[in-house]
Structure 1
Amino acid sequence: MKVKLQVIFPLILILTLLGCSTEREGIRIGVCVADGGKVAYMEIKRGMMEEASRLNVELIWRDVSLRRKGESTVVAERRFIYEMFDKGIDALVWNPVTPDPKFDYVIVKKAVQENVPIVSLDEYPRRLKVSLLVEPNYVEMGRMAAGIAAEKTLRDRKRANFIVIEEPRGNENLRRVTLGIYDVLDGYQGANLLAGVHAETPFRALGLINALLTRYADNVQAIISCNTNVMPGVIEALRAHGLLDKTIT
């Protein structure tokens, strides 16, 4: 059975669906993510840590982006997960670093040998039968970001101009974040959307935001991006226009 949940902190559901009693002592859950610096995974980690503390569960979190110097992502991922197997984890929550099934298979085979069930985080790896897919509520994340920006921007003014940096083309998860952003902005009468643009890199964001600030004579009060990876370019553009301390991002 595959169950797909659009929730951010489902640790108790993971334990329930995997047959682990929350009253049992010494439960260990291992989590391995490809890039823990992403906002979605930072939120997942925060929520899981809080819930693990509440349930008296030991949570072992490993982020492949923090691997050893010169170590490949695939090697680091395997090392982290094997170390968690050695520590006797009861379940593995896993966001693979690569969609290549031959690398997935090695870890899946080891998990079967260790009798450790796997929960897929954010997407289904190929050749992997999972009991549960844990997926952030991306739309809600967009709503939260837009709500905070709108409240701050409209606190002392009736109208404000917004720019939204939308998802890179083809990125379904960030597209849902963008939908959440627009859903909230549409509900604010004083929120005036100047532009919605796509930016895949900080350099691209720098060029786009610089052009928009020039076009609108720096009359921009907030910039909301669904992708934190491009924010260095946004910040550089704001700095160049002297708006770094005047614009909500």
Structure 2
Amino acid sequence: MEGKGGNRICHSKIHILRQFFTIALIFSALSCGNKKDQIKIGVSIDATTFPVYTLMKQALMENSEKYGVKILWNDVQSGDRSLIPIARELASVKKMLKAGIKVLIIKPVSFKIYPILRETRRFKVPVISLDTLPTDVPVTGHIKVNEIDLGRKAAENAIEILKLWYPLKKPTERWNVIVLEGAVGVEKLRRIVLGIYEALDQYQQEIQVVSSPQVSGADAAFDTVSKTIGKYAGNIQAIIASDSELAIGAIQAVNISNLLYNPGWNTDPEKRKGFAYVEKKGIVTAGVGAGKEACRLIFKGEHVIEIDERPYQRALTALETALDVLEKKRFPSDGLVSIGLGKVAVKYSPIRVVTKDNIREMEQMWADIFR
């Protein structure tokens, strides 16, 4: 009897083990069935050596797992030097297409990319351009910052500080403002300047633009701002620059004239935020681009405003848009831009205002200025 009882116990254990392994196999099969293959996204950039695109690469690589994608990255500049850049770019794109990319995000070497589009069409791969818009053939869509918004934000935020520091008490009073428009013929700067004047035009009774030079570089900005400050005996309330480099030259001129503001880092912490309470009011300086030196000057308490184009976030906008195109078969457009042969859908990436209150957010881009 004991032998039979022992056999029953043994058979029972075997039955339980079989059930356990069956359940384990079912869960394993379900898990494998639900696991999707990573979507391959090709990204081709003309030169990753610029900090902006180094940060973009970082954004894509850091977030690829989160989005369930595999990034195939191509830095054209570091490719086969026996080929000219355009040929190097095309050869790399062909390799990515053969590797099975589903979307191509490209900042092209040239404004003309027909040979690349001819290849992507063969593989039925949509093409999204980044920052540089091809002009010879329409792509699926384009990702960029809205330059008019950049200029508008710089001017609007400068005006808000003018209201705090220099409230106008008589209808005849004006704020004297210098607008550094930048070099002639640069389309991006032209659009930024349009945005600046779009904001200033809302205050035609309160603002007098006393100088609007079309200059290039910090040296030229320093020279023209110094002369204008001298001409108006220091009676300048704001300088708005279309890029960070111009802002740097302007700030040095303001410094020599002893018209820099001082935030007063040692003031009551409750009053430290914003610009209502500062140790010394000065000329309000605003720039666009949040370049390294301009951000360092904000951190030092010498510069007031920069508008950041947020390259990290722009890369994620491009990635999210690529996945949208794959899933919904449409480009999530904010508008259209003309290229001569027609119009291309455009998606604008977010921007942000940088001041003393949030300058630490720039550490991801310019870590060494905070050391």
Q: TM-score when scaled to structure 2?
A: 0.45
Pick one of 221, 230, 255 that aligns with 1:239.
255
Task: Tell me the residue number matched to 1:146.
Answer: 155
Contact 1:30-1:61 within 8 A present in 2 as well = yes
CA distance in 1, matches of 2:155, 2:238: 10
CA distance in 2, matches of 1:121, 1:88: 21
Which structure has the larger Rg over C-alpha atoms?
A: 2
Q: CA deviation at 1:228?
A: 2.4
Rate the CA distance shift 1:238–1:64 in 2: closer, same or farther, 3 A: farther
Number of positions where the alignment pairs a residue of Structure 1 with one of Structure 2: 212
SS in structure 1 of the partner of residue 235 of structure 2? coil
Contact 1:139-1:180 within 8 A present in 2 as well = yes
Task: Tell me the residue number matched to 2:216.
Answer: 200
Contact 1:121-1:134 within 8 A present in 2 as well = yes
Contact 1:64-1:73 within 8 A present in 2 as well = no
Task: Tell me the residue number matched to 1:133.
Answer: 142
SS in structure 2 of the partner of residue 133 of structure 1? strand
SS in structure 2 of the partner of residue 233 of structure 1? helix
One-letter code aligned to 1:132 = G
SS in structure 2 of the partner of residue 154 of structure 1? helix
Task: Write out aligned runs for 1:162-201 (5 A).
Answer: 162-188=177-203, 189-201=205-217
Task: Write out aligned runs for 1:22-33 (5 A).
Answer: 26-27=38-39, 29-33=41-45
Question: Please, which runs of 5 or more residues in structure 2 have no aligned partner?
Answer: 1-35, 169-174, 262-281, 287-371
One-letter code aligned to 2:148 = V
Contact 1:142-1:180 within 8 A present in 2 as well = yes
Question: Please, which runs of 5 or more residues in structure 1 have no aligned partner?
Answer: 1-23
Rate the CA distance shift 1:80–1:56 in 2: closer, same or farther, 3 A: same
1:78-136, CA deviations, whole angstroms, 9 ceiling, x for partnerless residues? 4987897698643222222444x5xx467556656765432123443355441223343
Q: Percent identity?
A: 28
> Aligned-pair RMSD on alpha carbons?
4.2
Rate the CA distance shift 1:199–1:83 in 2: closer, same or farther, 3 A: farther
Rate the CA distance shift 1:225–1:60 in 2: closer, same or farther, 3 A: farther
1:178-233, CA deviations, whole angstroms, 9 ceiling, x for partnerless residues? 11111111213433322211112222212111111111122222211122233332
Q: Which runs of 4+ in 1 moved over 6 A?
A: 35-38, 61-65, 79-87
Task: Tell me the residue number matched to 1:17.
Answer: none
Q: CA deviation at 1:36?
A: 8.2
Contact 1:205-1:233 within 8 A present in 2 as well = yes
- Asked if residue 210 in structure 1 is aligned to residue 221 in structure 2, the reply is no
Contact 1:143-1:177 within 8 A present in 2 as well = yes
Q: TM-score when scaled to structure 1?
A: 0.63
